[in-house]
Amino acid sequence: MTVGNTPDDTSPTPHGAESPHASALRSAAEVVVVGAGVAGLAAAKHLSAAGVDVLVVEAADTVGGRVRSETVGGFRVDRGFQLLNPAYPEVAKVLDLEALDLQPFDAGLAVHRGGRVSALRDPRRHPTAVLEALRFPLGSAREKAAVARWALRTTSAGDLKGPDSGWSDALDAAEVHGELRWSVVEPFLAGVLGEVDGTTSRRFVDLLVRSFLRGTPGLPARGMQAVPDQLAASLPARSVVTGTKVRHIGFAPRSLVVETVAGGVNCEAIVVATDAHTAAHLVPGVKAPDAHAISTIWYSTTTSPAPSSRAKLLHLDGDRSGPVVNSAVISAVAPGYVPGGPGSLVSAQLLGTDTGTDVDRRVREQLARVYGVDTAGWVRVAAHSIPHALPVVAPPFEGPKSVDAGDGVFLAGDHRENSSLQGALVSGRRAADAVLGKAFGRNGFKRAS
Question: What CATH number does the domain containing 376 carry?
Answer: 3.90.660.20
315/382 same-domain check:
yes
If we measure between CA atoms, which residue out of 151, 181, 133, 195 comes closest to residue 352?
195
d(CA 54, CA 44): 6
Residue 63: inside a domain: yes
Whether residues 307 and 381 share a domain: the answer is yes
DSSP 410: E
Q: Are residues 295 and 375 in the same domain?
A: yes
Residues 63 and 197 in one domain: no
**Could you tell me the residue range of the domain that residue 198 belongs to?**
141-215
430 plus 295 within the same structural domain = no
Q: Is the pLDDT of residue 238 over 90?
A: yes
Q: What are phi and psi of 162, to 5 degrees?
A: -75, 180
Which of 197, 215, 233 delimits the end of a domain? 215
- Check: CB of residue 274 under 8 Å from CB of residue 282: yes
Mean pLDDT within 141-163: 83
Nearest to 347 by CA among 331, 328, 364, 366: 328
Write the pLDDT tens digit of every residue in 67-108.
999 999 899 999 988 999 999 999 999 999 999 999 999 999
Angle at 93 between CA 91 and CA 94, to 5 degrees: 70
Residue 296 and residue 386 share a domain? yes
Residue 154 lies in a domain: yes
Contact 431, 271 (CB under 8 A): yes
Residue 2 lies in a domain: no
Last residue within a domain, chosen from 215, 237, 263: 215
| Domain tally, the chain | 3
Q: CB under 8 Å to 128, separation ≥6 — which residues?
A: none
Q: Residue 285 class from Cβ within 10 Å (0-12 exposed, 13-18 middle, 19+ buried)?
A: exposed
Other beta carbons within 10 angstroms of residue 73's beta carbon come to 17
Residues 308 and 364 in one domain: yes
Residue 24 placed within a domain: no
pLDDT (tens digit per residue) in 328-353: 999 999 999 998 778 899 999 999 99
Strands 409-411 and 404-406: antiparallel
Q: Is the pLDDT reported for residue 22 higher than 70?
A: no
pLDDT band, very low/low/confident/very high, at 12 (cuts 50, 70, 90): very low
**Nearest-10 crossing angle of helices 186-193, 202-214:** 100
Classify the C-alpha dihedral 48-53-57-62 as positive or negative: positive
| 423 part of a folded domain | yes
With contact defined as beta carbons under 8 Å apart, do 345 and 298 qualify?
Answer: yes
Identify whether residues 147 and 205 lie together within a single domain: yes
DSSP string, 332-385: HH-GGGSTTSS-EEEEEEEESS--SHHHHHHHHHHHHHHHTS--TT-EEEEEEE
Question: What residues pair up with 32 in beta bridges, in sequence order?
Answer: 55, 270
User: What pLDDT does residue 170 have?
Assistant: 96
Q: What is the mean pLDDT of the chain?
A: 90
In a domain, 449, yes or no: no
| Residue 46 φ/ψ, nearest 5 degrees | -65, -40
Q: pTM (2 decimals)?
A: 0.91
| Per-residue confidence band for 447, with pLDDT thresholds at 50, 70 and 90 | very low
pLDDT in tens, 352-373: 999 999 999 999 999 999 999 9
| 431 lies in some domain | yes
367 & 250 share domain: no
pLDDT-wise least confident of 8-17, 23-32, 37-46: 8-17
160 & 180 share domain: yes
Q: Which helix (H) or strand (E) holds 301?
A: strand 291-301
pLDDT digits (tens, 9 = 90+) for 197-231: 999 999 999 999 999 999 999 999 999 999 999 99
Q: Look at residue 132 and tell me if it is in a domain.
A: yes
Q: Are strands 344-351 and 324-329 parallel, antiparallel or unpaired?
A: antiparallel
Rg (CA), the chain: 22
Spatial strand order of the sheet with 263-267 comes to 246-251, 256-260, 263-267
Do 122 and 257 belong to one domain?
no
Do 401 and 262 reside in the same domain of the chain? yes
Q: How far apart are CA 375 and CA 365, in angstroms?
A: 7
For 367-396, the pLDDT digits (tens) are: 999 999 999 999 999 999 999 999 999 999
> Which residue among 391, 411, 432 closes a domain?
391
Q: For position 34, what pLDDT does the model report? A: 98
